Amino acid sequence: MRRMLLAPLLWIGAAHAGATVPSSDAAADLYQQHCQRCHGANRFGGTGPALLPESLSRIKPDEIRSVIQNGRPASQMTGYANVFSPAQIDALVDYLQQPPATPPTWNNDDIRGSHSILADISKLPDTPQHGADPLNLFVVVEAGDHHIDILDGDRFDVLARFASHFAVHGGPKFSPDGRFVYVASRDGWVSLYDLHNLKLIAEVRAGLNTRNLAVSKDGRWVLVGNYLPGNLVVLDARDLSLVKTIPAIGQDGTASRVSAVYTAPPRDSFIVALKDVKEVWELSSAGTPDFEPRRIQAEDVLDDFSFSPDYKQLLATSRKAKGGQVIDLDSGKVVTDIPLPGMPHLGSGTYWKRNGEWVFATPNISKGLISVIDFKTWKLIKEIPTLGPGFFMRSHVNSRYAWTDVFFGPDNDAIHLIDKQTLEIAHTLRPMPGKTAAHVEFTRDGRYLLLSVWATDGALIVYDSNTLKEIKRLPMNKPSGKYNVGNKIEFVEGTSH
Ligand code: DHE
């Protein structure tokens, strides 16, 4: 709406600007009018990535121009070709490659200075105070107004709602007993929330532009992966105090951003994907860890990855390579390439058993198809055409179907239910016609599932997973991800890890 109101004014500006090349000040003004809402006033990043020479250095100016003109398929970035004149776009491309007025730094003192303890855990009861099943709670991110809801997974009532930091992205992670949840926002804030007492415990800003976080197997450490500064930040999981920062620097000295961090419970380690150097890192979290990375050479840089069910291999994806690679964590070797033609939002793929064998399936964010891959042979079993590219796919061991969205295009209100054995689309639902339907998560027993209608006047819809009947509809403001405590702490089949 905001953009539509401004557009006519900009057309006048564009015609005017056509004669002369806009100055750097004019580009800075355009940035503040149109870009800062997502990319941050200082260009340090927000919902969108940081737009700084450091983060853009590997991208050619023509590519930056094309993204401003046409948008970016795998993200929320839309095209501005009808808003800016070509000269204005050129000026913006140039502006974004210049250092910002305020240099982007975030050091250990900044992290410590941002840390606050909001409640004294030692004075809080250590049993659930809400009467609901603590392992069947849901943490629901309401992206529209930056809030988080805690939902009773049996009655589907909201038990608590609190403000999050700007643009929570990626799955919140839990302590092994399910009492604490750790939430990261794109602007670097990490929050610690007590699900027994429904209280915020602590917060810290671990970076300027954060990718995601992981919690160690024993629940002692939180590892945060940052784009800006390109580093890993180790926090004490009890209160989010800073333990250590580890710059993401490749063996040859090249500085990198961190794409993603995950915990690998059977290995008692963290696995780290690096975005600018061809390395995967493993950091042991066993005993008293020193957090020194073991470096594994990859064939390409990694945007993200999924684990095989036994956590021995990574299915890694790279936007540049337009495909995937399988990396064996024990041998530290790349095993093979895998056909993933449409840039999956990989952490959101899922796996299940078909004819007794594990299969992996993922939507692709730039192609309307689901890739189904055999975990043993790494061969493509099937590409299932869908009504459009999607972000997420979820299932449960007790569900016949894997649910997957059509996030992009005219059919973004559709949800496909893929039969896990026949690999055919068994049903297509349209929960709220005309509004994006996306991201489901099952209750702990798999009997029900919660689906997001991703709109300002959206909703969280509860379905019976067998009859597919709607059980309840809770109005919500752009509900995005939702996470079941029991499913997450048990790392169950069908959900994200
Ligand atoms: Fe995500 C998870 C990366 C765009 C919503 N997304 C993740 C994770 C990664 C990732 C690495 C896993 C983190 C974890 O769970 O610990 N996402 C990326 C991208 O690289 C990409 C394509 C571009 C970018 O903007 O960074 C991207 N993601 C989006 C969106 O545009 C979405 C739809 C809206 C938003 O919030 O920005 C989006 N991503 C999500 C959600 C999850 C997620 C809801 C958690 C899924 C889950 O079930 O665990």
Domains by residue range for the chain, with CATH: 2-96 (1.10.760.10), 340-497 (2.130.10.10)
**Ligand 1 contacts CB of residue 169 (under 6 A):** yes
Token pair 């450091």 in the structure block, residue: 54
pLDDT value for 15: 34
9-13 long-range contacts, Cβ below 8 Å, gap at least 24? 10/83, 10/84, 13/85, 13/88
Q: Determine the average pLDDT of the residues in 266-270.
A: 97
Q: What is the pLDDT of residue 412?
A: 97
229 lines ligand 1 (CB under 6 A): no
**Identity of the residue numbered 333:** K
Burial class (CB in 10 A: 0-12, 13-18, 19+), 251: exposed
DSSP state, residue 168: B
Give the model's confidence band at 327: pLDDT under 50 very low, under 70 low, under 90 confident, else very high. Answer: very high
Range 348-365 average pLDDT: 90
345 lines ligand 1 (CB under 6 A): yes
**Separation of CA 438 from chain center:** 14
Model-wide pTM > 0.85: yes
Taking residues 300-310, what's their average pLDDT? 87
411-434 pLDDT tens trace: 999 999 999 999 999 999 999 999
Give the distance (Å) from ligand 1 centre to CA of residue 347: 8
- What is the overall mean pLDDT for the chain? 90
Tokens representing residue 326 in the block: 């399988």
Higher pLDDT pick, 496 / 382? 382
| Contacting residues for 79 by C-beta, under 8 A, at least 6 apart | 68, 69, 70, 71
The answer to whether the CB of 482 falls within 8 A of the CB of 139 is: yes
Percent of the chain with pLDDT over 90: 73
The first and second tokens of residue 296, run together, are 């594994």
Measured CA to CA in angstroms, residue 360 lies from 283, 311, 377, 483 at distances of 26, 13, 11, 20
Q: Which ligand 1 atom sits nearest the alpha carbon of residue 214?
A: 16
- Window from 170-174, 185-189, 243-247, 438-442 with minimum mean pLDDT: 185-189
Residue 284's closest CA among 263, 298, 300? 263
- Are 390 and 383 a contacting pair, CB within 8 Å? no
Distance from Cα 301 to the centre of ligand 1, integer Å: 18
Residue 391 CB less than 6 A away from ligand 1: yes
Lowest-pLDDT choice from 48-62, 93-107, 277-291, 417-431? 48-62
Rounded distance from Cα 345 to ligand 1 centre (Å): 7
- How far apart CA 403 and CA 494 sit, in angstroms, is 10
- For ligand 1, whether the C-beta of 496 sits within 6 Å is yes
Q: How confident is the model at residue 19 (pLDDT cuts 50, 70, 90)?
A: very low
User: CA 440, CA 80: separation in Å to the nearest integer?
Assistant: 31
Cα–Cα distance between 399 and 496 in angstroms, integer? 15
pLDDT, position 32:
94
Distance, CA 19 to ligand 1 centroid (Å)?
A: 41
Ligand 1 pocket member 347 (CB < 6 A) = yes
Ligand 1 mutation pick, 47, 67, 169, 340, max ligand atoms within 8 A of CB: 169
Written as one letter, the residue type at 50 is: A
Backbone angles phi, psi at 72, to 5 degrees: -125, 120
Q: What is the DSSP letter of 436?
A: -
CB-based contact 186:47 (threshold 8 Å): yes
In the reported structure, the alpha carbon of residue 211 is separated from the centroid of ligand 1 by a whole-number distance in angstroms of 9
Percent of the chain with pLDDT strictly greater than 70: 93
Ligand 1: centre distance to CA 343 (Å): 13
Over 50: is that where the pLDDT of 18 sits?
no
Please tell me which residue, 144 or 352, carries the higher pLDDT value: 352
Residue 129 Cα to ligand 1 midpoint, Å, equals: 32
Identify the residue whose C-alpha is closest to ligand 1 atom 29: 75
Report the distance separating Cα 267 and Cα 61, nearest Å. Answer: 42
Cα angle for residues 278, 283, 289 (degrees, 5° grid): 155
Query: How many C-beta atoms surround the C-beta of residue 75 within 10 A?
Result: 14
For the cut 50, the answer to whether the pLDDT of residue 138 exceeds it is yes
d(CA 405, CA 390): 5
DSSP state of 32: I
pLDDT of residue 54: 66
What pLDDT does residue 55 have? 67
Q: Name residue 44's amino acid.
A: F
**Lookup: tokens for 137:** 């709670």
pLDDT band at 12 (very low <50, low <70, confident <90, very high): very low
Find out whether the beta carbon of 38 lies less than 6 Å from any atom of ligand 1. no
The pLDDT confidence band at residue 267, using thresholds 50, 70 and 90, is very high
Least confident of 98-107, 205-214, 256-265: 98-107
- Whole-number Å distance, alpha carbon 169 to ligand 1 midpoint, is 6
